[in-house]
């Protein structure tokens, strides 16, 4: 029988911190030390403080030297006020429930939401000096328990500045404030400054980065994406039509694929085309119409609602996961394969390699594979921010690959996933799969939409050798 792990005794650990704490005590050192311990294997449940009021959280300070260790208990739906970490830093571990860390920017008197980091048990949220954020319980039913590490220690909340988004007022706590809340009696504040800032909420039609730690496994990410697109399946084509830049971009990519098929048809008949992640089938039909060729359209999509629409458009579609291509490639041969606006949704490097290799196997000799990908270097997209978050949120230690980002609609619930790629990495994967005559073009999306540009998405094609 495997040995049963002995729980970490938090009191004993705190008593020995002077000897075992990282030296010198720096932000990087503290974060690395916390990341090296599985805190869910501690006796934390014995130290959870009782909640006195269901609309506020409770704190249990376990130690203050050489840094603060404090356990917090959050009832369902409870959140802290937005507050400013000025002169102290640390990190937070989720022990139970769903922690949502919402960060903000404050510039020229305007406070705006920056991103959300959602932590599940074992997930870790870093809090560098200068952070403006709030922590909330991401569940309206279950309690949240978090373990915090801060330096210098906060013996009390004296001087902590809180921001009231509804009124634009700034509250400065005094020594008597028990929690970072704007709903305490006036005696818990040094002062309240009216009209201290203006809160600018995100537009309803916008999207918000919402990373999840630890990174969910591939199957969980796929379920998220399936839920996200199922939610919008009945209006997906209409949304595409309403967003002018997306409409112009997808039309340009469809035209490039159609031109590629026309060129291919000059040397060999084009009889069957496979559209991976075919969605509603609209783009498959548009490509065939644009090419003026007569070939059989086939497709694979994991969203049953979208696959139903594709079948109504004469696409012979299978409902299946791209993570398991062996389920749909056996005995197949195609003159072309496409994967449009979907490569970035593949959950990890292994899946992306697997799909490229499967596309190669599915092709007839001389056939071509076409796909587009989100460029990590596109300064008008989330790629550069994803690289920055990879460092700032310390995501590499929690299962992420550089370029990974989770997101949701500003007013939506379902979370989806994107991966931003480098052109060098894409070319390497194509070469490893066996493709030759690899072409890679940047097509504008936010700027110079639909034409070859400096910034945009990467349109990639490759040919399977004839011998």
For residue 136, pLDDT over 80 is answered with yes
Contact 396, 323 (CB under 8 A): no
Contact 435, 460 (CB under 8 A): no
User: Of 140, 159, 178, which residue is a domain's last?
Assistant: 159
Chain segment 171-213, per-residue pLDDT in tens: 999 999 999 999 999 999 999 999 999 999 988 767 889 999 9
pLDDT band of 414, cuts 50, 70, 90: confident
Chain segment 34-60, per-residue pLDDT in tens: 999 999 999 999 999 999 989 999 999
**142, 226: one domain:** no
For residue 464, pLDDT over 70 is answered with yes
**246, 316: one domain:** yes
Considering its fold, how many domains does the chain have in total?
A: 2
**294, 373: one domain:** yes
- Between vectors from CA 278 to CA 355 and to CA 406, what angle results, nearest 5°? 65
311, part of any domain: yes
Q: Which of 218, 63, 208 lies closest to 150 in space, CA to CA?
A: 63
For residues 144-170, average pLDDT:
95
**373, 235: one domain:** yes
349, part of any domain: yes
Q: Which of 185, 142, 192, 202 lies closest to 162 in space, CA to CA?
A: 192
Global pTM? Answer: 0.91
Q: Which of 124, 139, 137, 118 lies closest to 212 in space, CA to CA?
A: 118
Contact 456, 428 (CB under 8 A): no
Domain, as residue range, for 16: 10-159
- CATH number of the domain residue 364 falls in: 3.40.50.150
Instruction: State residue 28's pLDDT score.
Output: 97
Percentage of residues in the chain having pLDDT higher than 90: 85
| CA gap 420, 257 in Å, rounded | 22
- CATH number of the domain residue 73 falls in: 2.60.120.10
454, part of any domain: yes
**120, 242: one domain:** no
366, part of any domain: yes
DSSP string, 172-220: EE-TT--SS-SSS-GGGEEEEETT--EEEPPPTT-EEEEEEESPPPHHH
Preceding peptide of 431 cis, ω within 30°? no
| CA gap 83, 433 in Å, rounded | 50
Chain segment 283-331, per-residue pLDDT in tens: 999 999 999 999 999 999 998 989 999 999 999 999 999 999 988 887 7
**142, 231: one domain:** no
210, part of any domain: no
393, part of any domain: yes
Chain segment 89-135, per-residue pLDDT in tens: 999 999 999 999 999 999 999 999 999 999 999 999 999 999 999 99
**246, 395: one domain:** yes
Instruction: State residue 1's pLDDT score.
Output: 47
252, part of any domain: yes
Q: Which of 218, 217, 235, 333 lies closest to 279 in space, CA to CA?
A: 235
What b/e readout covers 243-257, taking b as 16+ CB neighbours within 10 angstroms?
eeeeeebbbbbbebb
How large is the angle between the packed helices 304-312 and 218-232, nearest 10 degrees? 50
Strands (E) across 400-447 are located at 404-409, 416-421, 436-443
**281, 389: one domain:** yes
Give the chain's end-to-end CA distance (angstroms, integer).
54
Contact 461, 359 (CB under 8 A): no
Coil vs helix vs strand at 393: coil
Instruction: State residue 5's pLDDT score.
Output: 61
378: exposed, middle or buried (Cβ count in 10 Å: 0-12, 13-18, 19+): buried
Percentage of residues in the chain having pLDDT higher than 70: 95
**120, 259: one domain:** no
**434, 353: one domain:** yes
Q: Is the dihedral of CA 293, 456, 377, 347 positive or negative?
A: negative
User: Of 113, 129, 159, which residue is a domain's last?
Assistant: 159
> Residues 6 or more apart from 198 whose CB is under 8 A from it?
109, 110, 111, 168
User: Of 159, 181, 197, which residue is a domain's last?
Assistant: 159
What b/e readout covers 277-290, taking b as 16+ CB neighbours within 10 angstroms?
bbbbbbbbbbbbeb
Chain segment 61-101, per-residue pLDDT in tens: 999 999 999 999 999 999 999 999 999 999 999 999 999 99
Give the largest Cα separation in the chain, rounded.
83
For residues 437-459, average pLDDT:
94
**86, 227: one domain:** no
DSSP string, 290-353: HHT---EEEEEES-HHHHHHHHHTT-EEEE--TT-THHHHTT--EEEEEE-S-GGGS-SHHHHH
**247, 391: one domain:** yes
2, part of any domain: no
Contact 336, 275 (CB under 8 A): no
């Amino acid at each position: 029988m495997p040995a049963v792990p002995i729980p970490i005794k938090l009191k004993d650990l705190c008593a020995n911190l002077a000897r075992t704490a990282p030296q010198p005590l720096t932000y990087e050192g503290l974060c690395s030390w916390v990341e090296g311990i599985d805190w869910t294997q501690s006796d934390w449940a014995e130290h959870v403080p009782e909640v006195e009021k269901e609309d506020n959280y409770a704190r249990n300070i376990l130690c203050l030297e050489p840094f603060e260790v404090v356990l917090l208990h959050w009832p369902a739906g409870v959140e802290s006020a937005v507050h400013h970490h000025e002169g102290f830093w640390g990190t937070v571990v989720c022990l139970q429930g769903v922690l949502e860390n919402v960060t903000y920017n404050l510039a020229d008197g305007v406070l705006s939401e920056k991103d959300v980091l959602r932590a599940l048990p074992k997930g870790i949220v870093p809090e560098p000096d200068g952070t403006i954020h709030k922590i909330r319980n991401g569940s309206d039913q279950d309690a949240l328990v978090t373990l915090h590490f801060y330096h210098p220690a906060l013996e009390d909340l004296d001087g902590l500045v809180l921001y009231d988004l509804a009124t634009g007022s700034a509250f400065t706590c005094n020594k008597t404030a028990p929690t970072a809340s704007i709903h305490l009696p006036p005696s818990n504040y040094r002062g309240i400054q009216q009209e201290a800032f203006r809160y600018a909420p995100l537009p309803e039609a916008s999207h918000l980065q919402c990373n999840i730690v630890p990174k969910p496994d591939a199957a969980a990410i796929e379920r998220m994406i399936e839920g996200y697109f199922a939610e919008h399946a009945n209006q997906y084509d209409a949304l595409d039509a309403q967003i002018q830049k997306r409409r112009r971009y997808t039309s340009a990519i469809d035209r490039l694929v159609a031109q590629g098929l026309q060129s291919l048809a000059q040397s060999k008949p084009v009889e069957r085309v496979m559209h991976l992640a075919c969605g509603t089938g609209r783009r498959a039909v548009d490509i065939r119409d644009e090419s003026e060729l007569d070939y059989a359209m086939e497709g694979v999509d994991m969203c049953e609602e979208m696959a139903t629409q594709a079948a109504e458009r004469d696409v012979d579609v299978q409902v299946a996961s791209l993570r398991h291509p062996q389920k749909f490639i056996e005995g197949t041969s195609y003159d072309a394969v496409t994967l449009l606006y979907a490569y970035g949704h593949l959950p990890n490097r292994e899946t992306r390699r697997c799909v490229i290799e499967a596309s190669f196997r599915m092709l007839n000799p001389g056939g071509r594979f076409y796909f587009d990908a989100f460029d990590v270097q596109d300064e008008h997209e989330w790629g550069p921010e994803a690289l920055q978050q990879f460092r700032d949120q310390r995501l590499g230690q929690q299962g992420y690959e550089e370029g990974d980002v989770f997101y949701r609609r500003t007013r939506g619930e379902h979370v989806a996933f994107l991966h931003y790629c480098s052109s060098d990495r894409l070319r390497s994967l194509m070469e490893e799969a066996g493709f030759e005559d690899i072409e890679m073009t940047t097509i504008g999306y936010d700027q110079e939409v639909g034409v070859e540009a400096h910034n945009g998405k990467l349109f990639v094609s490759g040919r399977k050798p004839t011998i």
